[in-house]
Amino acid sequence: MTAKATTALKYIDEKRSYLTALADEIWDYAELALHEDRSAVALEKALEAEGFRVEVGVGGMPTAFVGTWGSGKPVLGFLGEYDALSGVSQKVQPTREPRVEGAPGHGCGHNLLGTGSYAAAIALKKEMEARGLSGTVKYFGCPAEENLSGKAFMARDGVFDGVDACLTWHAGQLNRVAGGSSLANNAMNITFRGKSAHAAGDPYNGRSALDAVQLMNLGVEFLREHMPPKARVHYVITNGGDQPNVVPAIAKVWYLVRAPQRHQVDELYERVLKCAEGAAIMTDTTYEIELLKAIWNVLPNPTLEHLVDECLDRVGPPQFTAADLEFAKEIQKSIGPKLIESSVEKAQLSREDLKVVKEQVLNTTIVRPPVTAKEPSGSTDVGDVSWCTPTVEFNTTCNAIGTPGHSWQYCAQAGMGIGHAGMIAAAKVMAEAAFELVTTPELLAKAKADFNELTGGRKYKSAMPPEQKPAFHQFA
């Protein structure tokens, strides 16, 4: 099959140097959730330079924005992300060496994601201009996908209302539409307050907030046997006291509660909170709950998934250089054969694809979606968007097979040719799919029919209370 959006794809090729420089600029900034100030501005300026009208500060977040070009129907949106992860700073090399020890890094490739979606948006604009087509193109600048879920606040505030469909992508190990859903989740801080005392002289006069945290965590460990099969609960102690000879008067723990369905999260969340209550009773302390965010599982859209699968075939896989391949081989040495094999097995590949991928270091073929829906294992605030409008997400190869998510290896590849090639391919696929939606009204109608069938006609309702504010302090 031949690509149809010829002007768009040619434009992306012509802008390749600029696009990779923009992605590298954001990679270099490596800013954490809700504090992506320079990254957001870089994308805002890039949109304005292409004739987009930019509205900043949407959803109550200074680093969230919407760029708009055109008018009328259809209205197509592209989702962009640009937040980094704590502690995965890494130089562009295949051996571990942080740029700055302990600093953030793009260990999930969001520097590529935001730039690739930007490229698709401007390319679609060029195609529509060349053909004299009407319609509206929107780029949604979405902060804080990691941990604090900016899209959920945008969705709650109606930012995606009136959009006919949204397209997005993510850096990955394979070129494919993964399909399936994700895990809905809640995140919260729990602060226990006790009473300090000398840990040796009169500990009996103290009430340990740290004991409460540890007892809560132990309660959750025993709760695991009685959770839904695919549920996940994670925690980190963010404040365990100041020194061992003082009974801690304050201790804090950060929790993430996940499950396949929104109602399962709601139920499990309440049970986790009972562990906090029990811990407070046992230690004679008090506790406070701060909800950070609550998001929905992804609502799949079969029509859009089939469209993107076709567009992957039309556009083709990323084109890697010999230097890219050598870099990937070196990266794999730090991963090890067992993790690589496990990663391939987890991908639910067909027999034909499995045979090919097992022989690859970088996936350079188009891999078919799983025959059965892929088991959800992660979470994304794309889920909230998918309950507002038909939405599709796919992957292109941006790292070597076996690369762990949220790792220094991922960060290294997001800042060089491997990531660049995957980003360019993704931009072309999105531009091609969006052009098909602009020019084929019946296809867009079918995607909306899928959406209406799967939602049962229910309107999106945020899982967060109306007064919930973004947690700017979490990474302050």
Residue 250 vs residues 19, 88, 119, 211, 341: alpha-carbon distances, Å: 47, 29, 48, 10, 44
Per-residue pLDDT tens digits for 184-218: 999 999 999 999 999 999 999 999 999 999 999 99
Per-residue pLDDT tens digits for 378-414: 899 999 999 999 999 999 999 999 999 999 999 999 9
Class of domain 184-295: alpha beta
Strands 286-295 and 391-397: unpaired
Q: From CA 413, how far away is CA 108, in angstroms rounded?
A: 10
Residue 457's pLDDT is what? 85
Residue 71's pLDDT is what? 97
- Find the largest Cα–Cα distance for the chain: 82
- In contact, 355 and 462? CB cutoff 8 Å: no
Strands 165-172 and 391-397: parallel
Strand residues in 266-341 grouped as ranges (E): 286-295
DSSP 339: H
Per-residue pLDDT tens digits for 108-154: 999 999 999 999 999 999 999 999 999 999 999 999 999 899 999 99
Q: From CA 389, how far away is CA 376, in angstroms rounded?
A: 20
User: In the chain, what percentage of residues exceed pLDDT 70?
Assistant: 100
Residue 32's pLDDT is what? 98
Nearest to 406 by CA among 110, 64, 35: 110
Per-residue pLDDT tens digits for 20-70: 999 999 999 999 999 999 999 999 999 999 999 999 999 999 999 999 999
Mean of pLDDT over the chain: 96
**Cβ within 8 Å of residue 222, ≥6 positions away:** none
Residue 36's pLDDT is what? 98
Q: From CA 59, how far away is CA 38, in angstroms rounded?
A: 18
Per-residue pLDDT tens digits for 1-15: 788 999 999 999 999
Residue 282's pLDDT is what? 98
Q: Domain 6-182+297-455, what fold?
A: Aminopeptidase (3.40.630)
Q: What is the DSSP string of 44-97?
A: HHHHHHTT-EEEESGGG-TT-EEEEEEESS-EEEEEEE---BTT----SSSS--
Question: For the chain, how many helices (H) and strands (E)?
Answer: 15, 10
Query: In the chain, where does the domain assigned CATH 3.40.630.10 lie?
Result: 6-182+297-455
Q: From CA 287, how far away is CA 289, in angstroms rounded?
A: 7
Residue 464 vs residues 249, 384, 468: alpha-carbon distances, Å: 30, 11, 6
Q: Which residues, listed in sequence order, are joined to residue 66 by a DSSP beta bridge?
A: 55, 140
Residue 375's pLDDT is what? 73
Nearest to 255 by CA among 185, 192, 208, 153: 185
- In contact, 367 and 352? CB cutoff 8 Å: no
Query: In the chain, where does the domain assigned CATH 3.30.70.360 lie?
Result: 184-295
H helix runs in 78-169, sequence order: 110-131, 150-156
Residue 374 has pLDDT above 80, yes or no: no
- In contact, 108 and 380? CB cutoff 8 Å: no
Residue 279 has pLDDT above 90, yes or no: yes
Residue 370's pLDDT is what? 82
H helix runs in 347-416, sequence order: 351-357, 382-386, 408-414
Q: Give the predicted TM-score (pTM) of the model.
A: 0.96
Residue 18 has pLDDT above 80, yes or no: yes
Paired tokens of 41: 């501005």
Residue 164's pLDDT is what? 98
Residue 306 has pLDDT above 90, yes or no: yes
Strand order in the sheet with 391-397: 53-56, 65-71, 135-142, 75-81, 165-172, 391-397
Residue 476 has pLDDT above 90, yes or no: no
